[in-house]
Copies of this chain bind each other. A is one copy, B any other.
Amino acid sequence: MKGTVGELGEFGLIRELTSRLTTTPAVRLGPGDDAAVVAAPDRRVVASTDVLLEGRHFRRDWSTAYDVGRKAAAQNLADIAAMGATPTALLLGLVVPAELPATWPLELMDGISDECQVAGAAVAGGDVVRGDAITVAITALGDLQGRRPVTRSGARPGDVVAVTGWLGWSAAGYALLSRGFRSPRAFVEAHRRPEPPYAEGPAAAALGATAMTDVSDGLLADLGHIAEASGVSIDVKRAALDVPAQMTDIGQAVGVDPVDWVLTGGEDHAIVAAFPAKAKLPARWRVIGEVLGAGAGPQVTVDGAVWEAAGGWDHFGAPAG
């Protein structure tokens, strides 16, 4: 595919984009009509929208179009999993400049489509318009398979807090990239292409998770959302956190406490949940803390104290009370 988006034209681009898609039985009617039709077997649909902007959420010199597609899809599909649902379909709203090489949106779509396949979903429809800034607006849909949605508001004092997936890897990769490094690759790749543990969301719901969210703003910030919505406090045990030796090495090299990445780094899309203390958690879940009464107000602490650091913590704002 040679030339620019402008040379290919709007209908030409849409034709090329849709020709690259695979589908699933859940997509009853795919792209090309006024709307798509997607199966919703349990008479409810879970739906989430996110918008990614070039410059703010991705950089073309740091990530390939394919990786941006993987990441954009992963971010939305993780939101579905974090409700305890299985992703079914995704819709894409795309803004592309006329002078953009046509390969860019096509490789973006390959990334989106491949990430959908990882999660068991498929692209069902979308819209493409020309504009100055590359904008990727994704809506993901999912199926609860008869389960209750696991919101942020059900955590109760006495619950354990557990996490599955990666924490801090994307932040460490970002720290490397922003200092001009391109390795160690595992961390750089983690920033470019997160790997949310999709299947663990529905599994956690089946295990009785009382509250759940994906870690997009940083562990403390996202636990803060659960604390606030549930009217509880949450204490994280620093010793329970997994800080890989290589992450410690990177931290020393760039002058950052790697625990800060684990606690405040977002974008890995790990899944964190509260479970009744008696729940038998599978090996992929790591218990990292406990749910406490709200006391003077909902807050998140690390070993009993407010974590003093930059990063995702700002999103949470000051603890109440």
Binding site for B on A (CB under 8 A): 11, 28-29, 32-53, 56-57, 79-80, 82-83, 85, 89, 91-95, 124-133, 135, 137, 139-142, 144, 149, 151-153, 212-214, 229, 315, 317
Contacts and interface: CB of A to CB of B under 8 A. Distances in A.
Contacts of A131: 53, 56, 133, 135
21 contacts: A33-B83, A34-B82, A35-B47, A35-B83, A35-B149, A37-B47, A38-B44, A42-B43, A47-B89, A47-B125, A47-B139, A48-B91, A49-B125, A49-B139, A50-B93, A51-B94, A53-B129, A56-B130, A95-B135, A131-B135, A133-B135
B144 A51 contact: no
A181 B158 CA distance: 67
- Nearest first, the 3 closest Cβ-Cβ pairs linking A and B are A40-B40, A137-B137, A35-B48
A52 B130 CA distance: 10
Nearest to A143: B40
B46 A37 contact: yes
A254 to B, nearest CB: 27
Given A11-B317, A94-B51, A125-B48, A34 B214 contact: yes
A57 B130 CA distance: 11
Question: What secondary structure prevails in chain A residues at the interface with B?
Answer: strand
Nearest to A317: B11
Contacts of A56: 129-131
B49 A144 contact: no
A129 B141 CA distance: 21
A139 B93 CA distance: 9
A33 B142 CA distance: 14
Given A34-B82, A49-B137, A149 B29 contact: yes
Contacts of A92: 49
Given A28-B44, A56-B131, A133-B135, 13 more contacts: A34-B79, A34-B82, A34-B152, A35-B46, A35-B85, A35-B149, A36-B47, A45-B141, A49-B91, A49-B127, A53-B131, A133-B133, A139-B139
Contacts of A144: 37
Nearest to A129: B51
Contacts of A40: 40, 43-45
B34 A48 contact: yes
A47 B229 contact: no
Nearest to A26: B44
B142 A35 contact: yes
A33 B135 contact: no
Contact of A35 (B41, B80, B127): B80
Contacts of A93: 49-51, 93, 137, 139
B48 A45 contact: no
Given A82-B34, A93-B51, A39 B44 contact: yes
